[in-house]
Structure 1
């Protein structure tokens, strides 16, 4: 289902792993060059600055052409004409996207990014115009969820995966919002349950090699699921949303206080126990949310003093952990994690050996053993 050439995607993963391996000095430059030659990547992927420039240029050209067409339709135009033109350009941008990906082999070039976003934006705009901008919130986010999911499956775009996840959660939120007080009361638990389910699914798919081209999307999905799971049970979020949107008093406040403090602690514990960086980093990040929530309702120290004390404690803790992990302990180290891609199952070592040593090594013509002075008991002072 993915639009990009899968052989080039696999070779791209291999090249990234070989670059990392060579950077760690586990293989030589010659071995690296042999693997890169044996695993060519046909994609056009410029540097980030050119990618940004191509994105802006493509967006400007696309919007300008659409604007000129709108100007031509201004006299005697109707809402139906503008709607049809908007949907037509959405379809046109998608066709151009497929062409640039499948024929021109663009991959994260800026052109494909811009065409993808314009196609989705024009599709959504078409629905807005067709309904006179009176589209229900739940339907809006359902469209965002569907479009983001389709683009994610087709182009494995990480940002589109995040958009699809946000659309899904917002769709569930506004659906429960319109279903009445019972659904509103159960909303935090519904969001927590769905977030937990999505995290378990993404963690399961991350272990399956057939989804290797979606690993980036699955990783962002797992991180967002962890964050949403916590936010749905955070005391501040539940209370403020309940009072502002639902006009309902806080219920089971003690339970949400437990969630507020216990969930980041559980993330950190499980991250250390399972050596899961995503859990550990999200847990450390959400620890700040715990401090903010507690301080918002129970201010103990002045803000300046609290920030100073907290910063000093964090610096001291960071120094201690860095010093403690100078030598690796129990699988943890202070060194940077240089593994960017999970492609162990691609058997990089075997490929390096196979592509480096094409033929059985043979001694040069006229080579004769002998000449050492060790007499078989070890090397002497000369050979």
Structure 2
């Protein structure tokens, strides 16, 4: 699938960001950073965050006004025909996609606010048109609506590398799995395991794609891994399983396989922390720490060995002591995983390009050279 944005320009932005971080860390001089910025110019239109927000809101307002104005001419004729209104919505979406591609190509936009608003408008209008068109067929079959929206969301997420569309795609996948499971009594019982295995599949697919792909989808893969870890843990957390079972089945008390959910509630955070430190993966490490906190509070909620105020004080002291110990240990940089900030969270960057640029900025100090003889062909010429 053809990518909407120029991947070489995106990589140049990432290299410039990495160079700024290395300057702050003292690994590069400002002169070397300036040379890198010359080698990797910023070709996209990039504005500050406040301008992006203003452009985003203005574009959304303009999209709403334009569609409302055009609909005034067509809706009287399409008032009693759902398929006609649906086709009009898909036409709006197609028009937004066309305008989005045109502005990206001609104005060199890259998450500048305008292209984000056009993308969200295009996806919403096209999917809304599909829903209206098939509403008379699907009626209240919500899984069908989620299924027909999935190809549009996947295509938009892959082509435009949008984190918001990626998040919507993954939520749509979880919704389809959950709605299908609710159709069967066994599906309701196995819903925690369905969520766990689905999250594991998404996590493995994201990790595999990260190894094979470039920097284009880095932010999307970060969102995928973070959401998969969150949903995977929440799917088997004892509190979520027990209270969710009471809400779905209407039965209070312990749940089947309760001991298994308790074991998973305690093991998964520790596995994430260990794997995060071993693989130097910040997403796994943060997820492990957050889920460990939730696991401890889950245990406190049901067994309450001490009062909540005392528990909070003891837990806070333990976490603070552990954080201080980890910071002091990681500052040594002996593990390759340090507490100190490197100035960039980008991955998949051609670091050798930075080395080449840095070497190119260093003048040669060699003064002794050999003679200027020439030779070629099968033997020496008149000079060698």
TM-score by length of 2: 0.85
Q: Is the 8 A contact 1:15 1:39 kept in 2?
A: yes
Name the structure 2 match of 1:32.
Answer: 33
In structure 1, distance between residues paired with 2:364 and 2:323: 52
Name the structure 2 match of 1:238.
Answer: 241
**Match of residue 284, structure 1, among 283, 289, 295:** 289
Name the structure 2 match of 1:336.
Answer: 341
Runs of 5+ unmatched residues, structure 2: 368-384
Name the structure 2 match of 1:70.
Answer: 71
Q: Is the 8 A contact 1:261 1:290 kept in 2?
A: yes
In structure 1, distance between residues paired with 2:92 and 2:31: 49
In structure 2, distance between residues paired with 1:277 and 1:354: 30
Name the structure 2 match of 1:197.
Answer: 201
Q: Give the count of matched residue pairs.
A: 360
**Match of residue 214, structure 1, among 217, 226, 237:** 217
Name the structure 2 match of 1:309.
Answer: 314
Deviations 1:228-258 (A, max 9, x none): 2211211122222223224467221111111
Distance 1:61 1:34, change over 3 A: same
Q: Is the 8 A contact 1:202 1:221 kept in 2?
A: yes
Tell whether 2:185 aligns with 1:181. yes
Name the structure 2 match of 1:8.
Answer: 9
Deviations 1:131-180 (A, max 9, x none): 169342222333443332211110111222122111111111111111x1
In structure 2, distance between residues paired with 1:159 and 1:228: 17
Name the structure 2 match of 1:381.
Answer: none
Please give the secondary structure, in 2, of the residue aligned with 1:270: helix
Name the structure 1 match of 2:58.
Answer: 57
In structure 1, distance between residues paired with 2:195 and 2:330: 38
Q: Is the 8 A contact 1:59 1:118 kept in 2?
A: yes
- List aligned pairs for 1:254-333, cutoff 5 A: 254-333=259-338
Q: Is the 8 A contact 1:267 1:279 kept in 2?
A: yes
Q: Is the 8 A contact 1:233 1:260 kept in 2?
A: yes
Tell whether 2:91 aligns with 1:109. no
Please give the secondary structure, in 2, of the residue aligned with 1:206: helix
In structure 1, distance between residues paired with 2:140 and 2:215: 37
RMSD: 2.5
Please give the secondary structure, in 2, of the residue aligned with 1:251: coil
Distance 1:32 1:287, change over 3 A: same
Give how far 1:346 is off. 4.3
Give how far 1:95 is off. 0.9
Q: Is the 8 A contact 1:54 1:111 kept in 2?
A: yes
- List aligned pairs for 1:25-174, cutoff 5 A: 25-73=26-74, 75=76, 77-80=79-82, 81-130=84-133, 131=135, 134-174=139-179
In structure 1, distance between residues paired with 2:325 and 2:275: 21
Give how far 1:336 is off. 2.2
In structure 2, distance between residues paired with 1:89 and 1:102: 20
Give how far 1:291 is off. 2.4
Q: Is the 8 A contact 2:25 2:342 kept in 1?
A: no
Please give the secondary structure, in 2, of the residue aligned with 1:347: helix
Distance 1:219 1:163, change over 3 A: same
Name the structure 2 match of 1:374.
Answer: none
Give how far 1:271 is off. 1.8
